Amino acid sequence: MTLCRFLAATGVILALTGCATALQRNSDIARGVDANAASFPVDERVVPERYVSPAHSGVELDSLATWPAPDGRTWLIASAKAAHILMVFDADTGEWLQTVGGTDDAARAFKRPNGLAVHGDRLFVAERDNRRVQVLALPGFTPLGTFGEDQLRSPYGLWINEVSPGGLDVYVTDSFMYGKRFEIVPPLAELDQRVRRFHVELDDDGFSARYLGSFGDTAEPGALRVVESIAGDPAFDRLMIADERFPGSSGRNVSTLREYTLAGRYAGRSLPEDTFATEAEGVALWACSPDTGYWVAVDQRETRTAFYLFNRSDLAPAGSFRGTTTAMSDGIALHAASTPAFPDGALFAVHNDESVSAFDLADIARSLKLAAECTDAR
C-alpha cells in the first residue's frame, strides 16, 4: 500500500494493500514534503495503542482481517507479502499464533499475498504474483479453490458485499502498471479496468465464481491511477477507493479517496487533494448503527501514521488521531464486535511492515467525542 505497490506492480500495489517495497515507499509523494503538511481540518489527537506486537522483520505485513475462532479467541490474520505467507495473531494480545503457507506448505502456496477479506468461515486472499484470488476455509485454512486467473493482472485489495444468502459480489482492485519497473500508470482509456467484480456462490463443498466485469472512470477527475485499498457501504450505495498517487494541481503527486457506487460509477466526489500528507492506504467502515458511523482512512506517515475519520453519511471530517508508536501503516481492520480485551471493539493496524498494533474503539470514541452509539453506550 504504498508506492511500493505502485512500483511493483503498481503497482501500487505492488502490494497494494499494504504495499511498499523499500524503493517505492512514499517515494513520489513524501520526498521533500512535511509529514505534517496535510490539511485535514480537525485537530489531531493522540490515542495510545493498547499494544504493538513484537516485530517480524522482513516479512512485509500488509493487509489485515479478523475472524472469531471456535476457541473463543479472535484471530487477526495478516498477509506477509515478502515471505509469501499469512500470519495469525491473537487479536486481544498481539501474540503470534501460527503461520500459513510458505515453501514447506505446497497445499497453500501464496505468491505475494496482499488483500484479505473474511465472510463467515471463508477467507479470501488476493495474490498479486499469482494473479488470482484464493479461497480458504477456516479454521484450518483448507484450500477451496481460486478464481480470477483469466482477468486479474495485478490484484491488491478486496471487499465483499453479500447480495443474497451465500451470494457474494467480490470487488478486487487491479493495479497493473507498465514499464520495466512497473512504474508507468496505464493511459486513461485503460483505467476502466482498475476494479474487477466477481459473483461468488458459496455452498457446502466450496464455491463457484463468475466474472461480472470491470470499472473505473476514464476521465478526470474520477480516474483511478494507483489503487489498492477498497471498502464499501451498501446502506449508502458507496465504495471508497484509495487512489494512492496521481498528479495534483500543484504539480506534485498527491493521494485521495474516491467515491464510487456499488455498480461502479464515479459518484463525482473525491477528498480534497491536500487531505493526505503521504499516501492514502487502508480504509474501513465503522458502522455504529444501520445508517450511522464513520469511515476510517490511513495517512501513511513515516513518523507516525495519521488516522482520519469521516462521517458515514456525508463524508464530513469527524476527527483524526495518531498513536504513540504506529507508523508506515498499510492495511487496517476494524473489529466492532466485543472481545475480552476490547469490549467495544478495536481498530488494528500494520506498524512499519513488521508488527501489528491495536487501538481500543472506546479510547478513540472518547478522545474524538464520537457518537455514543459507537461505544458501549449504544
Q: For position 164, which CATH number holds?
A: 2.120.10.30
Q: pLDDT grade, residue 248 (50/70/90)?
A: confident
Query: What is the structure's pLDDT at 309?
Result: 98
Q: Which residue has the higher pLDDT, 58 or 13?
A: 58
Query: What is the structure's pLDDT at 49?
Result: 99
**Burial degree of 203 (CB within 10 A; 0-12, 13-18, 19+):** exposed
pLDDT of residue 22 exceeding 50, the answer is no
> DSSP characters for 350-365?
EETTTEEEEEEHHHHH
**Residue 296, Cα to own-chain centre: how many angstroms?**
11
Contact 79, 118 (CB under 8 A): no
3-state secondary structure the chain: CCHHHHHHCCCECCCCCCCCCCCCCCCCCCCCCCCCCCCCCCCEEECCCCEECCCCCCCCEEEEEEEECCCCCEEEEEEECCCCEEEEEECCCCCEEEEEECCCCHHHCCCCEEEEEEECCEEEEEECCCCEEEEEECCCCEEEEEECCCCCCCEEEEEEEEEECCEEEEEEEECCCECCCCCECCCHHHHHHCEEEEEEEECCCCEEEEEEEEECECCCCCECCCEEEEEEEHHHCEEEEEEEEEECCCCCEEEEEEEECCCCCEEEEECCCCCCCCCEEEEEEEECCCCCEEEEEEECCCCCCEEEEEECCCCCEEEEEECCCCCCCCCEEEECCCCCCCCCCEEEEEECCCEEEEEEHHHHHHHHCCCHHHCCCC
Report how many domains make up the chain: 1
Query: What is the structure's pLDDT at 34?
Result: 47
- What is the rounded distance in angstroms from the CA atom of residue 211 to the CA atom of residue 194? 14
pLDDT, one tens digit per residue, over 183-218 is 999 999 999 999 999 999 999 989 999 999 999 999
Query: What is the structure's pLDDT at 9?
Result: 32
Q: Which residue has the higher pLDDT, 248 or 265?
A: 265
pLDDT, one tens digit per residue, over 165-184 is 999 999 999 999 999 999 99
Structure letter (DSSP) for residue 373? G
Per-residue pLDDT, averaged over 69-80, amounts to: 98
Query: What is the structure's pLDDT at 105?
Result: 74
In this structure, the number of other CB atoms found within 10 A of the CB of residue 129 comes to: 18
pLDDT of residue 333 exceeding 80, the answer is yes
Question: 202 lies in which domain range?
Answer: 3-374
Residue 137, C-alpha cell as written in the block: 476455509
Contact 136, 122 (CB under 8 A): yes
Rg value, the chain, Cα: 19
Q: pLDDT grade, residue 102 (50/70/90)?
A: confident
pTM over 0.85: yes
Q: Please name the residue that has the C-alpha cell 458501549.
A: 376
Rounded percentage of the chain residues whose pLDDT exceeds 70:
88
pLDDT of residue 29 exceeding 90, the answer is no
Which of 26-35, 66-75, 79-88, 278-287 has the least mean pLDDT? 26-35
Per-residue pLDDT, averaged over 277-301, amounts to: 95
pLDDT of residue 285 exceeding 60, the answer is yes
pLDDT of residue 310 exceeding 70, the answer is yes
Distances from the Cα of 287 to the Cα of 85, 197, 359, angstroms: 30, 23, 16
pLDDT of residue 315 exceeding 50, the answer is yes
pLDDT of residue 1 exceeding 60, the answer is no
3-state secondary structure 122-181: EEEEEECCCCEEEEEECCCCEEEEEECCCCCCCEEEEEEEEEECCEEEEEEEECCCECCC
Contact 59, 80 (CB under 8 A): yes
Task: Supply the mean pLDDT for the chain.
Answer: 89
